[in-house]
């Protein structure tokens, strides 16, 4: 299915899960059957506007944002993109945080 032909609706967000490290920083390999994390990260590939109380507002996230959400967010709502990536369909309310880039201060203190 071509992702460019799909658009999320009604406050839905398309997210690609980040790859889970198979090895810790200290070099220990993690087993395949490890307990899933409660919060996982992913990258937004598309987001729809949010309709609340009859009004529409822009989504809190946009394409390219790194987001954090529950492991069970979008459970059973996935599809494979034309590039072979597994896309998760998540409600905007299931996203608990997004990574914010720090802006460099132009003033010297």
Token couple for 25: 């920083």
**Contact of 93 with 60, CB cutoff 8 Å:** no
Q: Cα–Cα distance between 45 and 55 in angstroms, integer?
A: 24
Q: Please write the tens of the pLDDT for every residue from 34-44.
A: 545 566 889 99
The model's pTM is: 0.73
Report residue 10's pLDDT band, with 50, 70 and 90 as the boundaries.
confident
Average pLDDT over residues 52-67: 91
Domains by residue range for the chain, with CATH: 3-19+36-98 (2.30.33.40)
How many residues are listed for the chain in this entry?
109
What is the C-alpha separation between 79 and 26, in angstroms, rounded?
34
pLDDT at 84: 84
Q: How many CB atoms are located within 10 Å of the residue 108 CB? A: 4
């Amino acid at each position: 299915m071509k992702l460019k032909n799909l658009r999320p609706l009604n406050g839905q967000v398309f997210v690609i899960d980040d790859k889970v490290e198979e090895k810790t920083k200290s070099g220990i390999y993690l087993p395949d059957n490890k307990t899933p994390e409660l919060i996982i990260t992913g990258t937004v590939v598309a987001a729809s506007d949010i309709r609340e109380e009859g009004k529409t507002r822009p989504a809190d996230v946009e394409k390219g944002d790194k987001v954090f959400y529950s492991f069970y967010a979008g459970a059973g709502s996935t599809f494979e993109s034309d590039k072979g990536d597994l896309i998760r369909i998540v409600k905007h309310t299931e996203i608990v945080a997004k990574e914010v880039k720090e802006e460099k201060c132009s003033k010297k203190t």
